[in-house]
Amino acid sequence: MNARAAMIARIGAVALAAAFGGCAGAPPAKTYDLSAATATARPARHPQLAVAEFSAAAPLAGDRILVRVAPDRIAHLAGAQWSEDLPALVRRRLVQSFQNAGWLGAVTPAGGASAADVELVGEIRTFEIDAATKVATVDVSVQLVSAGSGRIRAAKLFDANAQAASTAPDDVAPALDRALGDDLRAIVSWTSGR
């Protein structure tokens, strides 16, 4: 790469970082929420299910919305944030999705006294928009674990994509919400069949 091309690449990287990273003195971030899925899986018998705290790697563990600006680089979407830390928000919406599917009274957040037969353990692997393609990607890995023995009964990776019109927050947040909704419906259906 010649010196001129290298300089243009550096300027482009700085411009992308400024666009997605925000700057001091910027107005407060707009807050976005995620939706529970309306699922239709209704098994004849609901086991008692506890949904454990979700885990996520450091960039995903907070309330910032992530943008993939290069294959090896992510940034925060300027002027936008989730209503709470992402793992807690996804877990809350998953519990509501089970309840929407008729598991009301049979699914609870894990912790405290619980008569759950099975615990669902989840990890958010990907929750971001690609700046180049404007495709939102949500990957969630789950395991069903026997409450008594701790034995893993089943495990699966759920991945979904949704197209956004642009990388503006008002387009990115709904695209991520649609992708998550696909994953939540699939998780409820998969769990109902186990």
Domain boundaries, the chain: 31-192
CA distance 109 to 94: 10
CA distance 14 to 159: 31
| 128, β-bridge pairs | 66, 137
Which structure tokens are listed for 72? 């090896």
Q: What is the pLDDT of residues 12-70, one digit of tens each?
A: 443 344 444 444 456 788 999 999 998 665 555 667 889 999 999 999 999 999 999 99
Beta strand residue intervals within 90-151, DSSP E: 107-109, 118-130, 135-146
CATH 3.40.50.10610 fits 31-192, yes or no: yes
The pTM assigned to this predicted structure is 0.82
Residue burial 143-176, b: 16+ Cβ < 10 Å; e: rest? bbbebeeeeeeeeeebebbbebeebebebbbbbb
Which structure tokens are listed for 153? 């009964």
| Cβ atoms of residues 41 and 111 within 8 Å | no
Least confident window among 26-30, 168-172, 179-183? 26-30
